[in-house]
Structure 1
Amino acid sequence: MHLAETQIESGAAVQRSDEISPSQGWSAVLCVAEPERGAFFPASTLQRLEARCDVRIVDRQVLDSAHGFAQSFDGVQIAITSWGFPSLSAERLVLAPQLRLVTHTGSSVKFLVTDEFWTSGVRISQAGAAMAASVAELSLAFTLALLRRIPEQDHALHDGSEWQVARTARRGVEIAGARVGVVGASRTGRSYVERCQALGADVLVHDPYLRHDDPLSDRSATLESLLASCDVVAIHAPLTEESKGMLGRGQLASIRDGGVVVNTARSPLVDMDALYDEAASGRLDVALDVFDVEPLPPDDRWRALPNVLLTPHLGGASVQSRLRAGQIVVSEIERFISGRALEHEVHRPALERIG
């Protein structure tokens, strides 16, 4: 049967073709745009991948059409994806009947998977673990900068304020002895906790799924008590139906005057209008790597506040994190081809609790 002629009724399972014989060899579609492709897969990593399978580098735009998708995945068992890869709907899955594994270079795979994907038998893995240290480090940099009031002082000097006037900015606070509240005991949250504790911070953690035998359980706090008692509130929770809007106007109002809010997770976790009002009033200092609208418009209101630090959603994009992610992808493919268990596989039930 010609691939493009295969029909699927809505909600029907997508059947895979016969099992692949190892003698046929393995093929992978690599769909990661430059310059990110080179960041994830430098020569040494790409050579390691090519030693295990035939690699087809495919531009994202080619996959928009049914013909381009079918041609790209003809005889291919493995997809290496990045942001912008098309959703794996029934219509696309039927164009890739030999597909067995999707390895995502990023963290969240929610935009990739569909109901039909989960019934297709294709497995999926992600490289989010590679980004935890990078995002945590940015969060720590934000934390230190805001505690020491660096944005306010920097703006004063850049705006031409007199030296003595600039020195009247609020006095900075050291992180040692400061109370830092972490919302979300995710991989990134745990990495951030380690860094803050190493610098002497007193850390509290809120996560409704934190087990009593978890190493962080002795730091566990309700969201209400964390917000009311911490100098810094750092958000590291995944975006789920449960967590969406968890920090609303009332919750933000309970943070002490002069408090710091750091969000390197997802903007819908927070009422961004309420957070803006708190920052604009000067009551809270804020650092953001994520926004409701991305790219952030040139005239966006957040750009004008001197007590706010902004970065363009690059928390997980360090040189080292990209290298680690590429290595994770190749390792997962090596495990899959050799029949070993995947280390970073995503299963459907987990999507309710992960980003």
Structure 2
Amino acid sequence: MMRPKIAFAMAADKTKYVFDAAALAQLAAHCEIVQEAPLDSFSDPQARAVLAEIDILVTGWGCPRISAEVVKAAPRLKLIAHAAGTVKYMLDPAVYAAGIAVTHAADANAVPVAEYTLAAIIFANKRMFEMRDRYRADPARVSSYALTNEPIGNYHRTVGLVGASRIGRKVAKFLQGFDFTVLLSDPYVQAGDPILAQVELVDIDTVMARSDVVSMHAPSLPTTRAMIGARELGLMRDGATFINTARGALVDEAALIAELQSGRIHAVIDVTEPEIPEVGSPLYSLPNVFLTPHVAGAIGTERLRLGQLVVEEIERFIAGVPLEFAVEPALLERLA
């Protein structure tokens, strides 16, 4: 039996470390790698020649959209293995119409996001970002020590999760090792779901009103756009922290900024809408905001998990074993 032919399509400057030498060697043991250098376009003659002979296409961040024309140019293509998280925006319906299987590494990318969220929760409850600023301004530690006598810390605190996504579920699991009460709001969670052993299922208003920290883990859908607005933010306790590592579109940013400018709540924000806030946005300078540039997901060597997951999925596919992380068309619409 001939070994399947494989190629890569991704932006090299965004995918360093995804496939190291060991991962490539593991792939080469099962596949013929047509071209190790990733394609960054599907339109030139060389790319079309590669597409014409491959059975498996490994994609990643920066992959061009896989259009109906690309599918037509790849008549042998049987599997698209996405070595990153979100895959739905790069797939034309022609992919599924052609019977091409799709898998992705979102589960691997969820690990560092959940780790980031856990760190943010712990630091938020201890008011570490404010503690840092007070110490810088007052090396004598008078104001820092004053903060330690406030009702802060991580003992008997309430953490609210919005969305039982793969990231939300990993966060819930991490939180089991702490003295937290964990609330969850997700309309899709049904009786018998294993996560109910770890959380208390409540509505969104209860999450916002009862939690010391609220963390967003819902997908970006038409129905979830701006799901957190002025009313929801107004329900939060004084001194509570709002964390968003999901999608900026989930939040009415103007309402969030207004609430933050009041100084009543704090925020840890990794994602915004637009992707980069406009120059002069208060999010860059508000003292009660910890803003990061969409880096909660896999960065640096954390990307190795993405490549390893994809290699293992390709091995399953070649062996005729069901894919563990297959992306079916019905699932695609509910992905982040």
Calculate the TM-score normalised by the size of structure 1: 0.87
Paired AA for residue 282 in structure 1? G
Contact 2:283 / 2:289 at 8 angstroms: preserved in 1?
yes
Contact 1:245 / 1:269 at 8 angstroms: preserved in 2?
yes
Please list every run of 5 or more consecutive structure 2 residues that lacks an aligned counterpart in the other structure.
none
Pair 306,127 (structure 1): closer, same or farther in 2 beyond 3 Å: same
SS of 1:57's equivalent in the other structure is: strand
Q: CA deviation at 1:213?
A: 0.4
Match of residue 268, structure 1, among 224, 249, 268: 249
1:146 aligns with 2:127: no
Q: CA deviation at 1:158?
A: 3.6
Counterpart in the other structure of 1:12:
none
Q: CA deviation at 1:207?
A: 0.8
1:207 aligns with 2:164: no
User: Following the alignment from structure 1 to structure 2, what is the Cα–Cα distance between the partners of residues 264 and 71?
Assistant: 39
Match of residue 220, structure 2, among 226, 239, 249: 239
User: Following the alignment from structure 1 to structure 2, what is the Cα–Cα distance between the partners of residues 60 and 309?
Assistant: 36
| Residues 117-128 of structure 1: pairs in structure 2 closer than 5 A | 117-128=95-106
Contact 2:15 / 2:61 at 8 angstroms: preserved in 1?
no
1:198 aligns with 2:205: no
User: Following the alignment from structure 1 to structure 2, what is the Cα–Cα distance between the partners of residues 330 and 226?
Assistant: 39
Calculate the TM-score normalised by the size of structure 2: 0.91
User: Following the alignment from structure 2 to structure 1, what is the Cα–Cα distance between the partners of residues 51 and 39?
Assistant: 13
Q: CA deviation at 1:82?
A: 0.8
Pair 76,64 (structure 1): closer, same or farther in 2 beyond 3 Å: closer
Counterpart in the other structure of 1:75:
53
Counterpart in the other structure of 1:341:
322
User: Following the alignment from structure 1 to structure 2, what is the Cα–Cα distance between the partners of residues 50 and 300?
Assistant: 48
Paired AA for residue 186 in structure 1? S
SS of 1:179's equivalent in the other structure is: strand
Q: CA deviation at 1:165?
A: 4.1
1:278 aligns with 2:268: no
Q: CA deviation at 1:258?
A: 1.1
Contact 1:147 / 1:172 at 8 angstroms: preserved in 2?
no
Identity %: 33
Match of residue 91, structure 1, among 69, 78, 100: 69
SS of 2:283's equivalent in the other structure is: helix
Q: CA deviation at 1:118?
A: 2.1
| Residues 1-355 of structure 1: pairs in structure 2 closer than 5 A | 22-23=1-2, 25-34=3-12, 37-55=15-33, 56-61=35-40, 63-158=41-136, 163-169=141-147, 171=150, 173-217=152-196, 219-296=200-277, 299-318=280-299, 321-355=302-336
User: Following the alignment from structure 2 to structure 1, what is the Cα–Cα distance between the partners of residues 188 and 265?
Assistant: 28
User: Following the alignment from structure 1 to structure 2, what is the Cα–Cα distance between the partners of residues 66 and 257?
Assistant: 57
- Deviation readout 1:219-265 (Å, 9 max, x if unpaired): 11011111111111111112222222211111111111111111111
Q: CA deviation at 1:137?
A: 1.1
SS of 2:224's equivalent in the other structure is: coil
Aligned residue pairs, count: 332
Q: Out of 212-221 and 246-255, give the one that drifted further.
A: 212-221
